Amino acid sequence: MDLMAQNVDDATFVVVDVETTGMSAVEDRMTEIAMMKVRNGVLIDEFSTLINPLVTISNFITDLTGIDNLMVRDAPTAREIMPNVAEFLEDSVFVAHNAAFDWGFVSHAARRERGIELENPQLCTVKLSRKILPTLASRSLGPLSQFLDVTIPQRHRASGDAYATALILIKFISYLKKKHSLQTVEEIFRFQNGAKFADVPQ
């Protein structure tokens, strides 16, 4: 069945967070990835690993993430893990907080390291938050999580950020089902991209 036509309760969403050596998916490399698989409002599986970027991690990045060169020395490389990542993402909606960033790193690494072309549709919890919470002062993960009463186990580490984003996604989908009666994956994407939906009478 076409993923976009699926009922949101039947579809698989994989919430992804990556830590990296910098901001460029072309020039920089991943140092950690976490993926949380969500279906029908429940976290059903997860995959996470440190990644040896094969380049030096700067002090700035270590200060931000806590990940240093010693931690990743014996970790698998992106070339080693990308088949596992691609398999985990199969037939799912790719979700991230600022999805363009995480998708850029994951899809570029898959292509560069293994010649794998990932084709998952990308749902962004930042874009959803702009539509659902238009008056919120900041939509970065910390303030958004605090507003929604979601605890981030470890900020700026992939597993902690992905877990918090997964809980936010579950809250957002529940809200869209109740408030706007959205039922399919396609309707969630249309809402993200600016389509107007009538409120459901209470």
Q: Report residue 158: phi and psi, to 5°.
A: -60, -45
199 lies in some domain? no
pLDDT of 200:
77
For residue range 95-118, what is the model confidence (pLDDT) as tens digits? Answer: 999 999 999 999 999 999 999 999
Compute the distance between CA of residue 42 and CA of residue 77 in angstroms, rounded to an integer: 30
pLDDT of 198:
80
198 lies in some domain? no
Please, what is the average pLDDT of the chain?
Answer: 96
Lowest mean pLDDT among 61-65, 88-92, 152-156, 174-178: 152-156
pLDDT of 202:
58
42 lies in some domain? yes
Percent of the chain with pLDDT over 90: 94
**What is the extent of the structural domain holding 112?**
3-192
Q: Mapping DSSP to helix (H, G, I), strand (E, B) and coil, where does residue 143 land?
A: helix
> 156 an active-site residue?
yes
Which secondary-structure segment (H or E) carries 145? helix 141-147
168 lies in some domain? yes
pLDDT of 114:
98
* pTM score: 0.97
For residue range 46-81, what is the model confidence (pLDDT) as tens digits? Answer: 999 999 999 999 999 999 999 999 999 999 999 999
59 lies in some domain? yes
* Contact by Cβ (8 Å): 120, 12: no
Average pLDDT over residues 191-200: 88
CATH code of the domain in which 96 resides: 3.30.420.10
152 lies in some domain? yes
Q: What is the phi-psi region of residue 161: left when phi exceeds 0, alpha when psi lies from -120 to 50, beta otherwise?
A: alpha
Task: List the beta strands (DSSP E) in the chain.
Answer: 12-20, 30-39, 42-50, 93-96, 122-124
Considering 97, 108, 156, 180, which one is annotated as catalytic? 156
Q: Mapping DSSP to helix (H, G, I), strand (E, B) and coil, where does residue 14 land?
A: strand
Q: Mapping DSSP to helix (H, G, I), strand (E, B) and coil, where does residue 37 land?
A: strand
128 lies in some domain? yes
Please give the structure tokens belonging to residue 102.
């995480």
39 lies in some domain? yes
Give the number of domains in the chain: 1
The DSSP-derived string for 83-125 is: HHHHHHHTTSEEEETTHHHHHHHHHHHHHHHH-------EEEH
pLDDT of 178:
96
Compute the distance between CA of residue 104 and CA of residue 26 in angstroms, rounded to an integer: 8
List of residues 6+ apart from 166 with CB closer than 8 A: 15, 36, 38, 43, 95
Residue 183 has pLDDT above 90, yes or no: yes
pLDDT of 196:
85
